[in-house]
A and B are shown apart, each in its own frame.
Chain A
């Protein structure tokens, strides 16, 4: 290290210090003098002695240069020289440079934008101490690998006591809560955590203290909370925030701490605003879906997620035996709940919070794909620029020839040209980065606005993004610079020096010129991107009108959650029982009902439906929804067989238990029999099957999620069967139309306010607006936005590039054209003359482009939304659009050629 510093110091001195050269000289002169002294002593005269000494010593300057090279970063010196020259050249041709920088800015900007998102999601380290040591601990079913459940608190407790391989083990339960904000209630993420949660992550609080063991104890119910750094900053960074209260689900909690800036736990996107001690679970905090919380002490309440810090020298693999041993002990001690379950550790994903070990791999693969597409945009920009450089290269032949003839090595001149290109790249990169930051910020902002709770994507420029952008600049420089530089430094020095008017290098007939190949490549790549953009746009259009099996029009949706107002289950049931009739009484309302899930919404539950006697005994997994009476009518559907739930069933507690299945599930369970009157049981996760239920109706099939290809199996239970605090109230209007909907939104809002002002209206909008703001639609539209932007950029670049090259070609052929016109060629003839050139290449480009499009479309088929991979409309329109644009780009310069005045053209030279 020290030696490295010495070396660096010596070299820097040589690089910047002119005196260094003098000192070298002085040292050598001294030697020569000593030699001369020797010769004089041997009897030579003064001058003779000196001359002999010099002869003996050899070329002083050469030795000095050799020594200089030893010290100096020769390459750095050259580079600095080249950079200075490059900047001069760039400034000397402002028009060319501006075009080049713009072209590069688009190419590099597209890449930097995508890269900054990838950076935020996958690369930027979370504020966690030694994240590599932090792992997830999961509970896996031994009988069916791949089946997972959360931890029960008793299981977690024993794991924490027994596991020696972990330095620390923490449990938490992510949930949504209502935070009082003035008079309103905001829904935010909260995390109920163990006392050692923050210690396990190794992230000290910004202020205050973490939770105590007493606060963690299940059922402890000590009203304390830790707030996020953002919450504290929004409140004005007051130090006396500690001791203040925060209303969480209408419960006043004392703030005892402020989390560190940026701390989110292990997830990149989900940002809890408040952390609660586990002891509040069951009273203040419930589960994400709003199931009434059962006590954490119960052995079969598998609700916790566990994260552990590996002990020194431990790895995910090396803790496996210990975890298995603990699992075996647990299963001996609690056979009822722990038979068939084992424990395993796995690396924590950044993008998911789940009881199942997941990997960020799929997202990484997707990112690579998108970055690849952005890379194609850069490639097109580079081809474009290479063409511009080649065109300009012709006019720089003389300069190159002089350099080469004066003894500049070819490598040296190529390096100089590349440096010049790099200067352009850096210019483009700087402009591109500004565009990228803006675009990525807009994209991130749009996802944050779609999800109604604390989600944030921290896209921004950090050193990784800067480095990435620099990388794109370098890559670009090599792509567009190397070919032209190589070509420009080749060839006939003497001819170039004379600069006779034979500008085009002679080439063998039949071989396409590099310039033509560049056009073929550009057109082909552009067409591929344009096609992909078109396919994604088609998908977005399809998605924006997608329906789950019923029309969204005439529907309003009210999301509410009495638990956020602090209401317990009994009070909540009363709220819903009384609220629905109130809304039904409003004039203009056709039907009102409610459900635990909304089609195309953000949350889903599923249960396994097991038929009792006859039918598929293994059971089928189905989307599970709790619904009130009149539900299907409120969606504008009618039952295929049987009936809906009765008001009495919907309220719960009376008569034999009823269940509704949809046709998809019915067909799967009883392919040949009448489902009505059949008996089933529902099983949740790894639990035991529940009560016997009788099928009373068959509903039309539908899709739960936007990305379902087919209708999926659904099972419906009366809302009263299980209480959910968070419900979605459906209101169906008698009248269609936006005006009626708007008026009704007002009325519903007033009705709810009048009914109970404390009841939070989490959202109230038309079903169409709900779909428009859904994450699924966002994903499809964002994809369409990104890919159609790539397509648009590609098209633009191709047109600009072709226009530039054509204009240049025309300007070089002015004399020829003038001559032809003087000899009687007509305008049409001249037009054709210019258009003809490159037409074959454009055609070839389009042909390759179609092939490339097919390949790309196949590659991306999995990402497309309800569009055929080879959608005929897109595959017809994209080439036509590109062909038309290319034609226009050629036509404009060609038309200019027809206006050449023969006299002037001939006078030109």
Chain B
């Protein structure tokens, strides 16, 4: 079946993957494996990116125009697909970050008061 959701932003937790990818790419272009590694490391190993969902997400984001992929060379001289943030993606990162913070803040508030 083809995937119906065209925008990477969806349900709360599922929707966080594009946000994380955008954030990682905002500090410089990178390839898929490195993006996954970086999310894993930076989140102090609490977040683990499913390989099975990483690439479809990357490709959806590319079609959406938030990131752009091009072929480059890796450290060990292998051909590798490198993604960088587009201006549209930059904008989206801002929006998604805001959205996430609002949700996180809301959830935190309920947890404390409720």
Contacts and interface: CB of A to CB of B under 8 A. Distances in A.
Given A70-B63, A71-B59, A63 B2 contact: no
Interface residues of B, number: 24
A70 B65 contact: no
Contacts of B32: 27, 30-31
Contact of B62 (A10, A26, A28, A63): A10
B52 A70 contact: no
Interface string A42-56: 000000000000001
A58 B52 contact: yes
Nearest to B61: A70
A63 B33 contact: no
Contacts of A10: 62-63
Contact of A6 (B31, B51, B52, B65): B65
B80 A74 contact: no
A57 B51 contact: yes
B33 A34 contact: yes
B55 to A, nearest CB: 5
Given A10-B62, A56-B51, A70-B3, A63 B31 contact: no
Contacts of A70: 3, 56, 59-60, 63
Nearest to B66: A3
Contacts of A11: 63
Interface string B39-74: 000000000000110111001101111000001001
B31 A30 contact: yes
Say whether chain B's binding surface is mostly helix, strand, loop, or mixed. Answer: helix
A103 to B, nearest CB: 36
Interface in A139-164: none
Contacts of B31: 30
B38 interface: no
B70 to A, nearest CB: 11
Contacts of A30: 31-33, 74, 78-81
A274 B79 CA distance: 74
Contacts of B74: 30
Nearest to B58: A67
B94 interface: no
Contacts of A74: 2
B56 to A, nearest CB: 4
A35 B50 CA distance: 12
B3 A3 contact: no
Nearest to A72: B2
Contacts of B55: 27-28, 31, 63, 66-67
A23 interface: yes
A27 B81 CA distance: 6
- Which of B60, B63, B71 has the largest number of chain A CB atoms within 10 A? B63
Nearest to A73: B2
A69 interface: yes
B88 interface: yes
Choose among B3, B52, B71 the residue with the greatest number of A CB atoms under 10 Å from its CB: B52
Given A3-B88, A27-B32, A35-B33, A66 B63 contact: no
A798 B91 CA distance: 63
A74 B2 CA distance: 7
B6 to A, nearest CB: 9
A26 B52 CA distance: 15
A753 interface: no
Contact of B56 (A23, A34, A35, A67): A67
B81 A71 contact: no
Nearest to A59: B52
A805 to B, nearest CB: 39
B52 A57 contact: yes
A70 B71 CA distance: 19
Given A31-B32, A31-B33, A69-B2, A63 B56 contact: yes
A7 interface: yes
A11 B33 CA distance: 24
B29 to A, nearest CB: 14
Contact of B81 (A23, A35, A63): A23
A30 B76 CA distance: 11
A3 B56 contact: no
A69 B80 contact: no
B60 to A, nearest CB: 5
Contacts of B62: 10
Interface in B80-102: 80-81, 88
A57 B79 CA distance: 20
A38 to B, nearest CB: 9
A3 B65 contact: yes
Interface in B3-59: 3, 31-33, 36, 51-52, 54-56, 59
A5 B54 CA distance: 25
Contacts of A35: 33, 51
A761 B21 CA distance: 88
A31 B60 contact: no
A384 B63 CA distance: 45
Contact of B51 (A3, A26, A31): A31
A35 B78 CA distance: 15
A812 B36 CA distance: 65
A425 B65 CA distance: 38
Given A3-B65, A34-B33, A70-B3, A63 B80 contact: no
Interface in A48-106: 56-59, 62-63, 66-67, 69-71, 74
B77 to A, nearest CB: 12
Contacts of B79: 26, 30
Contacts of B78: 30, 33
Given A27-B81, A30-B80, A58-B51, A67 B33 contact: no
A10 B6 CA distance: 14
A35 B65 CA distance: 28
A12 to B, nearest CB: 12
Contact of A67 (B36, B59, B80, B88): B59
Contacts of B51: 31, 35, 56-58, 63
A193 B92 CA distance: 60
B33 A7 contact: no
B98 to A, nearest CB: 21
A74 B81 CA distance: 23
A815 B64 CA distance: 63
Contacts of A56: 51
A70 B74 CA distance: 25
A794 to B, nearest CB: 43
A66 B32 CA distance: 16
A69 B3 contact: yes
Interface of A: 3, 6-7, 10-11, 23, 26-28, 30-31, 33-35, 56-59, 62-63, 66-67, 69-71, 74
Interface of B: 2-3, 31-33, 36, 51-52, 54-56, 59-60, 62-65, 71, 74, 78-81, 88
19 contacts: A3-B64, A3-B65, A6-B65, A7-B63, A10-B62, A23-B71, A27-B55, A27-B80, A27-B81, A30-B33, A30-B74, A30-B78, A31-B36, A58-B52, A63-B51, A66-B55, A67-B59, A69-B2, A74-B2
Return the 9 tightest CB-CB contacts between A and B, nearest first.
A3-B65, A69-B2, A34-B33, A70-B59, A74-B2, A66-B56, A27-B81, A58-B52, A67-B59
Given A7-B64, A63-B55, A70-B63, 13 more contacts: A6-B65, A7-B63, A23-B81, A30-B78, A34-B33, A56-B51, A57-B52, A58-B51, A66-B3, A66-B55, A67-B56, A67-B59, A70-B56
